[in-house]
Amino acid sequence: MRFQNPAEETAMPTYRIMDADGNIVDNTRDPQSASDAEITQWYRNMLTVSIMDLIMFDAQRQGRTSFYMVSAGEEGIAVGSASALTPDDVCFLQYREQGVLVQRGFTLKEMMSQLFANKDDHGKGRNMPVHYGSGKLNVHTVSSPLATQIPQASGAAYALKMQRLINPNVPPRIVACYFGEGAASEGDFHAALNIAATKSCPVVFVCRNNGFAISTSSIEQYKGDGIASRGLGYGIDTIRVDGNDIFAVREVMLEARKRALEGDCKPILVEAMSYRVSHHSTSDDSFAYRAKREVEEWKRRDNPITRLRKWMEKKGIWDEDKEKEARASIRKQVLQEFSAAEKVKKPPLRAMFEDVYEEITPEVQEQMKELKRLIEKYPKEYSSVSQYEGGIKTLE
Partner 1 sequence: MFACRRSSSVLRALKPTAIQLRHASQAPSTAQLNKPIDFKKTAILHQSQTSARSAFGLSQDAPVDWVNLHGAINASLHHALKTDENVLLFGEDVAFGGVFRCSKGLSDEFGTSRVFNTPLSEQGIVGFAIGCAAEGMKPIAEIQFADYVFPAFDQLVNEAAKFRYREGGTGGNCGGLVVRMPCGSVGHGALYHSQSPESLFTHIPGLRVVMPRSPSQAKGLLTASILSSRDPVIFMEPKVLYRAAEEFVPRDPYTLPLDKAEVLKTGKDLTIVSYGQPLYLCSAAIEALEKEIKGLSIELIDLRAIYPWDRATIMESVSKTGRAVVVHESMYNAGVGAEVAASIQEKAFLRLEAPVARVTGWSTHPGLVFEKFNIPDITRIYDAMKRTLEY
Site residues for partner 1 per CB under 8 A: 90, 92, 121-124, 126-127, 131, 133-136, 140-141, 143, 145, 148, 150-160, 162-163, 165-166, 175, 187-188, 190-192, 194-195, 198-199, 351, 355-358, 361-363
Q: How far is the CB of 155 from partner 1 (least distance, A)?
A: 3
Q: How far is the CB of 74 from partner 1 (least distance, A)?
A: 23
Pairing relation of β-strands 14-15 and 237-242?
Answer: parallel
Q: How far is the CB of 162 from partner 1 (least distance, A)?
A: 7
Three-class secondary structure of residue 238 per DSSP: strand
- For partner 1, give the closer residue by CB, 321 or 358: 358
DSSP symbol at 132: -
- For partner 1, give the closer residue by CB, 34 or 192: 192
Q: Decide: 96 and 180 in contact? Cβ < 8 Å.
A: yes
Nearby residues of 186 by Cβ (< 8 Å), 6 or more positions away: 146, 147, 150
Q: How far is the CB of 82 from partner 1 (least distance, A)?
A: 18
Q: How far is the CB of 125 from partner 1 (least distance, A)?
A: 8
Q: How far is the CB of 157 from partner 1 (least distance, A)?
A: 7
Q: How far is the CB of 119 from partner 1 (least distance, A)?
A: 10
Q: What does the longest C-alpha to C-alpha distance in the chain come to?
A: 80
Q: How far is the CB of 363 from partner 1 (least distance, A)?
A: 6
Q: Decide: 152 and 110 in contact? Cβ < 8 Å.
A: no
- For partner 1, give the closer residue by CB, 41 or 152: 152
The torsion angles phi and psi of 106, rounded to 5 degrees, stand at -65, 130
Q: How far apart are CA 312 and CA 269, in angstroms?
A: 29
Q: How far apart are CA 30 and CA 18, in angstroms?
A: 11
- For partner 1, give the closer residue by CB, 353 or 382: 353
- For partner 1, give the closer residue by CB, 40 or 152: 152
For residues 154, 155, 157 and 162, what is the CA-based torsion angle, rounded to 10 degrees?
140
Nearby residues of 256 by Cβ (< 8 Å), 6 or more positions away: 84, 204, 237, 239, 268, 270
- For partner 1, give the closer residue by CB, 120 or 255: 120
Sheet (strand 237-242) strand order: 14-15, 237-242, 268-273, 203-209, 175-180, 90-92
Q: How far apart are CA 88 and CA 363, in angstroms?
A: 39
Q: How far is the CB of 124 from partner 1 (least distance, A)?
A: 4
Spatial CA neighbour of 42 closest among 96, 119, 129, 102: 102
- Beta strand residue intervals within the chain, DSSP E: 14-15, 90-92, 175-180, 203-209, 212-213, 216-217, 237-242, 268-273
- For partner 1, give the closer residue by CB, 39 or 351: 351
- For partner 1, give the closer residue by CB, 53 or 110: 110
How much of the chain is in helix, strand and coil states, percent to nearest 5?
Answer: 50, 10, 40
Q: How far does Cα 332 stand from its chain's mean position? A: 24
Q: How far apart are CA 139 and CA 155, in angstroms?
A: 15
- For partner 1, give the closer residue by CB, 117 or 330: 117
Q: How far is the CB of 40 from partner 1 (least distance, A)?
A: 30
- For partner 1, give the closer residue by CB, 175 or 272: 175
